[in-house]
A and B are shown apart, each in its own frame.
Chain A
Amino acid sequence: MSVEEQVLHYPIPNDAALDPPAEWARLRSTCPVTHVTLPSGDRATLLTRYEDVKQVLADPRFTRQLTAPDAARLSAEGGVFNSEMSQIIPDGGEEHQHWRRLVVKWFTAKRMAAMRPTMTQIAEDLIDDMVKRGAPGDLRADLGFPLPVYVICDMLGVPATDRDRFSYWSDTLLNLTRYSKAETEAAQGAFFQYMSDHVAAKRHRPSDDLLSELIAVGGPEDGGLSDLQILVTGMALLVAGHETTANMIGKMVSMLLADRDRWERLLADRDRWERLLADPSLIRTTVEESLRFDANSGFGLPRYLREETEVSGTVLPRGTTVVCSMAAANRDESTFEAADQMDLTRSPNPHLAFGAGAHSCLGQALARTELQVVLEVLLRKLPTLELAVPVEELERVEGLAVGGLRTVPVRW
């Protein structure tokens, strides 16, 4: 077989909704730095080992911006990583740190703790509505999607009633193969216009929200952000603030309700769920383990190498586009004991679900708090929760850079 034929297509096709593709283990052990073909047809280098993924993600020399002429395109149809929009928010050095510190103060652990009662109320109301409609419910549409949307809309001061539009715009930004170039361009134009109007309205009539406060800091000369940076920050937070967590809620609950092994499931059905019911103090470590164990987390994170580097003994030349698979790294046996087992007590759990280094997920305290709240409320209100379909029938979201389940049918 020629080298050409050996190049893997990425994302690696996988029919199982919750299980990793068999290639991960082989790649980690024998081919940790491997060539892949992206949906665009462009070539990139895939990393699957924990130490490699962490090293590259945390290296300040490498950029998330894939706008250099020789950078790989993820999708032939456009998307956020290759867009001009990705250049508006500074991607490194002091400028990035400045931007990050202006925004991350809104996502501190203390602020998230203060939002917990509101999140709990939203989760309870959504679950009550789902129960009223009767089983089976769809945990994705009824709870997983609306909860993070309500929360991030409230933080940004945008109306949650526009959530269907946000969802569509967000999908197009995270597009790999689902939408055409014309569709992604039209959606991004409409999203840009919407947020532009929203920021203008906030400037005119400020209220108690993140965007109003960012505007109030002033322009770059006052230590604040430019108008365009505020606008793009708003778009980025709206997309990042709902899509990932919305999907994670459905995947987390599915993983907890479905023990992986068929025999194990016959013998000890709902073992994980029963364990959590018996000991809710495991919620925190369970959320972390769900993040680690998520084999359907999506594309991973790309990096463009502005200079040569070495990874696992392989020299990667300047101009290489690297894809870091955090999900594959999170199953690395050399870092995680019994990595293929979901251990609700695992601690410490230094998983890479939120990335690593200076660009590590800005909203991770928000995501953690939302996931913890959802789990706490579900265990309390619906202790008899179960999947309404066999786990084999769960279907992946396809064609987007973020991984999820199309529906999560449940009964109680």
Chain B
Amino acid sequence: MKVTVDEDKCCGAGQCVLLAPEVFDQRDDDGIVNLLDPEPGADRHAAVREAAAVCPAAAIELIE
């Protein structure tokens, strides 16, 4: 799985961080997504898929 994020689209809702904190974080200075792990391990795929599905700004793209 390869994860990419669109910082321009990101609205800082934080859903991805709540769901997969090992993969996503938010920058302290503007709340925008900070991708920690662009190729997460298999045990995190379900959480990352959910994060992508519920991102209100559709800012997370997955290639599987």
A residues whose Cβ falls under 8 Å from a Cβ of B: 58, 100-102, 104-110, 112, 284, 347-350, 354-362, 364-365, 368
CB–CB A348/B54 < 8 A: yes
Q: Check A109/B17 contact, CB under 8 A, given A104-B30, A348-B50.
A: yes
The answer, among A107, A350, A358, for a CB contact under 8 Å with B31, is A107
Q: Taking each of A112, A347, A361, which has the highest tally of chain B beta carbons within 10 Å of its own beta carbon? A: A347
Nearest-CB distance from B1 to chain A (Å)?
Answer: 16
CA distance A368 to B18 in the complex (A): 10
Nearest-CB distance from A54 to chain B (Å)?
Answer: 9
CB–CB A101/B56 < 8 A: no
List B contacts of A112 (CB < 8 A).
14
| B29 in the interface (beta carbon within 8 A) | yes
List B contacts of A106 (CB < 8 A).
31
| B57 in the interface (beta carbon within 8 A) | yes
Nearest-CB distance from A360 to chain B (Å)?
Answer: 4
CB–CB B32/A110 < 8 A: no
B10-40 vs A, CB cutoff 8 Å, 1 = contact: the mask equals: 0111110110010001111111100000000
CB–CB B28/A105 < 8 A: yes
- Within B47-62, the residues touching A (CB, 8 Å) are 49-50, 53-54, 56-58
B residues whose Cβ falls under 8 Å from a Cβ of A: 9, 11-15, 17-18, 21, 25-32, 49-50, 53-54, 56-58
- 17 A–B pairs (Cβ distance < 8 Å), ordered by A: A101-B30, A101-B31, A104-B11, A105-B26, A105-B27, A105-B29, A105-B30, A107-B12, A108-B31, A109-B26, A112-B14, A347-B50, A348-B49, A357-B11, A358-B57, A364-B13, A365-B14
Nearest-CB distance from A402 to chain B (Å)?
Answer: 19
CB–CB A108/B26 < 8 A: yes
CA distance A102 to B29 in the complex (A): 8
Q: Check A360/B54 contact, CB under 8 A, given A102-B30, A109-B17.
A: no
CB–CB B18/A365 < 8 A: yes
List B contacts of A347 (CB < 8 A).
50
Nearest-CB distance from B25 to chain A (Å)?
Answer: 7
* Nearest A-chain residue to B12, judged by Cβ: A104
CB–CB B50/A100 < 8 A: no
List A contacts of B13 (CB < 8 A).
354, 360-361, 364-365
CB–CB B11/A360 < 8 A: yes
The answer, among B12, B54, B56, for a CB contact under 8 Å with A105, is B12
The answer, among B12, B54, B56, for a CB contact under 8 Å with A349, is B54
CA distance A357 to B49 in the complex (A): 18
List B contacts of A350 (CB < 8 A).
53-54
Q: Check A109/B18 contact, CB under 8 A, given A101-B31, A361-B13.
A: yes
* Nearest B-chain residue to A368, judged by Cβ: B18
CB–CB A348/B53 < 8 A: yes
List A contacts of B57 (CB < 8 A).
58, 356-358, 360
* Nearest A-chain residue to B50, judged by Cβ: A348
List A contacts of B28 (CB < 8 A).
105, 108
Given contacts A358-B9, A360-B57, A365-B14, 10 further A-B contacts (CB under 8 A): A100-B12, A101-B12, A101-B30, A101-B32, A105-B28, A105-B31, A107-B31, A347-B50, A358-B11, A362-B12
CA distance A104 to B13 in the complex (A): 8
CA distance A357 to B12 in the complex (A): 11
CB–CB B56/A110 < 8 A: no
Nearest-CB distance from A119 to chain B (Å)?
Answer: 15
List A contacts of B14 (CB < 8 A).
107-109, 112, 364-365
Nearest-CB distance from B44 to chain A (Å)?
Answer: 15
List A contacts of B49 (CB < 8 A).
348
The answer, among B11, B15, B18, for a CB contact under 8 Å with A100, is B11
CA distance A58 to B9 in the complex (A): 11
A-B complex: 10 closest residue pairs judged by Cβ atoms: A109-B14, A360-B56, A109-B17, A104-B12, A101-B30, A348-B53, A104-B31, A365-B14, A105-B31, A108-B26
